[in-house]
A and B are shown apart, each in its own frame.
Chain A
């Protein structure tokens, strides 16, 4: 109901819905958006956080070198698998399946990371930080995964509501399409919020909707729809390779076993589906893709030793040992495969029955070409005779066997997860995520800015407004610092420290907590400024720290084409630039102007505090009230530069009557403020 008693129109109602759905879990959504945006480079961050791998330089010749090492180390293995470095991974992983190893969904239990140049085994440090962002963005931390997903799912639903209600609320969505009016206070914030929301609206809608789809299993009862579960990912390509011997009458004993391996690797229902639809990897991993989120996935070169490619355990094959035969040049086959797939190249290769007459070499393309097959299936393969080097089969993309519903779901979800995205697309997705993050942040700041006239009327800062202000600084700027601290702790904690991974995450949360409390100790503007300066410094120095603590410098990584590490350094520098530009904007904005714009009444109530020089602003403003003229009202207005003294004074008369009207959380924060009042008065 409007103040004049008339019923509210649709737009006003939607405005209310938009404001409070956004505000209620805005900080959480901001954190989810921010960490989720970083997750687009999860594999790269994983590389960055293991500096022991940075000095490795890959060339095609490395493949034969590592295969020689495998031949010496596991001559009797039933298969060797190599995951090759690529744009999204720096390391070369080798794995092999022993003759007596049980069959499993993945390629063998023996695995090592090798230096492609020397073949030396590398032992990278243990780190939890690289996957932390990814996991945090959909299941938080300190919660059970189920509860975490429920919370994030609920927040995502509110986000979806906020996006739709925001579109309805936006009165001039078309006429103001490209409009941004700077230096106009609330109007500028609204324009920035609108521009980032409207121009990137398709991205926001898809990301939010796909997020809901991903988390739907958690939010809804365990309903089963045939369209969603009937057929797996439908990746045909790899399955084609696995089944190929059967079709071609290839190496005898393998055909049944290869199919068998795929089946044995299944998990529950998916196993049956994969058996029905060749290309088990596609089916299985399309399902896993929801949350399991394979670390490397196909986008990073595929997992070593997929079930479809790997040979079966020797126990399942003929009992008699196979006749020995030397392996043909894998390098020649690799070059042939790379020429065949000029865009993405080879991601991994598997040598089945190595050094025997039945040896085959299977190459997998690095990325798949379609989002419809569920993300990780359907890649192309080439199979060579391992003894003669002759090409036996080259599978092409096979139409996905998934249902239409599943295909649509796969396509939407794949965009959310950034599967298949090459360098350019990944950066586009990342930058769009930054836009979404900015949209959430600008909405939260706008909530405060929009209420400054109300504060002017009241002559004080209402407690809820102050809470939002405090949380804005701590949640927005604080999260940036906390994320930077995670990178720093990755490098500064001893590599052999017990519980190292857990401490990396602990440091993240401790830093974030400190950042949440810090705004209590200084003015609002000072808190923003200090935290943004710290964030800019932390991010800006990280590439230097990387080079100083064993990692490869940006110049080295660019020169050697190690883009996974270079990309992270570039991201960190761009984060430093973003935070630095906010600092520059805060410093450029004179406090006098900020006061008059933010709270026009403040110039009347605290004129002396309204005219400090710009650079002295953070400290000058809190000192202003004591110099106020005699006509100063008893309660100074909430100026942008001096909120804490105001708060300290206004919080004192907040008696039980006021506190009773507040939500418990607000009361708790006000108690904290009361407790901090002596400190605040001391510091101011």
Chain B
């Protein structure tokens, strides 16, 4: 379950950053307008975070199973993020920094103890 929580936190933070760089969602989240250079950086940061959300899965399972679990989970997190934007837009906008600033380290922290459990033979 820790793996799932870590993945969700990281993926949710990633989607928040990615959404903040997208025209329509930028307005929803109430983020400031980015310069093209900033936009690129934030977008890269978002996708890096999304890639990072694969780490807990990889720490817990072998590569092949980790991919399956990650694919499923980012889908759900994406939908959860979309629904939170629809039904709780103000809260999502208010919490965006908290989500990114807290979610990322918390997700990384939550997945850190799992690294010891990794079964390298499964790669």
Contact = CB atoms under 8 A, between A and B. Distances in A.
B68 to A, nearest CB: 5
A414 to B, nearest CB: 7
A175 interface: yes
B79 interface: yes
Interface string B60-92: 011011001101111110110111011100000
A370 interface: yes
A178 B22 CA distance: 10
Contacts of B3: 424
Nearest to B18: A177
Contacts of A424: 1, 3-4, 69
A343 B61 CA distance: 10
Given A175-B22, A428-B69, A372 B64 contact: yes
Given A178-B19, A178-B85, A370-B122, A425 B78 contact: no
B51 to A, nearest CB: 14
B22 A425 contact: no
Interface stretch (A18-26, A59-67, A197-205, A675-683): A197-205
B54 interface: no
A179 B71 contact: no
A669 interface: no
A444 B71 CA distance: 25
A432 interface: yes
Which of the listed residues B4, B79, B81 has the most CB atoms from chain A within 10 Å of its own CB?
B79
B64 A180 contact: no
A206 B86 contact: no
Nearest to A177: B22
Nearest to B2: A424
A182 B82 CA distance: 12
Contact of B75 (A174, A202, A372, A396): A202
Which of the listed residues B69, B72, B86 has the most CB atoms from chain A within 10 Å of its own CB?
B72
Given A178-B25, A179-B82, A396 B76 contact: no
Interface residues of B, number: 34
Contacts of A196: 79
Interface in A179-196: 179-182, 195-196
Nearest to A198: B78
B86 A181 contact: yes
Contact of B81 (A176, A178, A202): A178
A370 B81 contact: no
Contacts of A370: 62, 64, 122
Contact of A343 (B64, B75, B85, B117): B117
B72 A180 contact: no
A421 B75 contact: no
A179 B72 contact: no
B69 A178 contact: no
Contacts of A517: none
A487 interface: no
Interface of B is mostly: helix
Interface in A292-328: none
A203 B71 contact: yes
Nearest to A199: B78
A369 interface: yes
A174 B15 CA distance: 12
B76 A428 contact: yes
B24 interface: yes
Contacts of B69: 424-425, 428
A397 B72 CA distance: 26
Contact of A421 (B4, B23, B65, B74): B65
Nearest to A416: B68
A411 interface: yes
A384 interface: no
A176 B71 CA distance: 20
Given A370-B62, A421-B65, A425-B61, A178 B71 contact: no
A199 B82 contact: yes
Interface string A523-549: 000000000000000000000000000
B121 interface: yes
Contact of B86 (A175, A176, A180, A201): A180
A491 B82 CA distance: 41
A96 interface: no
Contacts of A176: 24
Contacts of B73: 428
Contact of B72 (A181, A343, A372, A429): A429
Contacts of B119: 343, 369
A94 interface: no
Which of the listed residues B15, B76, B117 has the most CB atoms from chain A within 10 Å of its own CB?
B76
Contacts of A369: 62, 119, 121-122
B61 A203 contact: no
A509 B61 CA distance: 40
B53 to A, nearest CB: 14
B82 A180 contact: yes
A371 B64 contact: yes
Interface in B1-31: 1, 3-4, 15, 18-19, 22-25
B71 to A, nearest CB: 4
Contact of B65 (A175, A202, A420): A420
Contacts of A180: 82-83, 85-86
A424 to B, nearest CB: 6
A260 to B, nearest CB: 29
Contact of B24 (A175, A371, A431, A432): A175
Contacts of B76: 200, 428, 431-432, 435
B65 A371 contact: yes
A415 interface: yes
A397 B123 CA distance: 10
A378 B117 CA distance: 20
Interface in B77-123: 78-79, 81-83, 85-87, 117, 119, 121-122
Contacts of A206: 68, 71
A397 B121 CA distance: 6
B102 to A, nearest CB: 20
A416 to B, nearest CB: 10
Given A201-B75, A435-B79, 10 more contacts: A175-B23, A177-B82, A178-B15, A178-B22, A179-B25, A203-B72, A369-B62, A372-B64, A428-B68, A432-B75
13 contacts: A177-B25, A178-B25, A181-B86, A195-B82, A206-B71, A369-B119, A371-B65, A372-B64, A421-B68, A428-B68, A428-B72, A435-B75, A435-B76
Interface of B: 1, 3-4, 15, 18-19, 22-25, 61-62, 64-65, 68-69, 71-76, 78-79, 81-83, 85-87, 117, 119, 121-122
6 closest pairs, A vs B, by CB? A369-B122, A200-B75, A428-B72, A371-B64, A199-B78, A178-B82
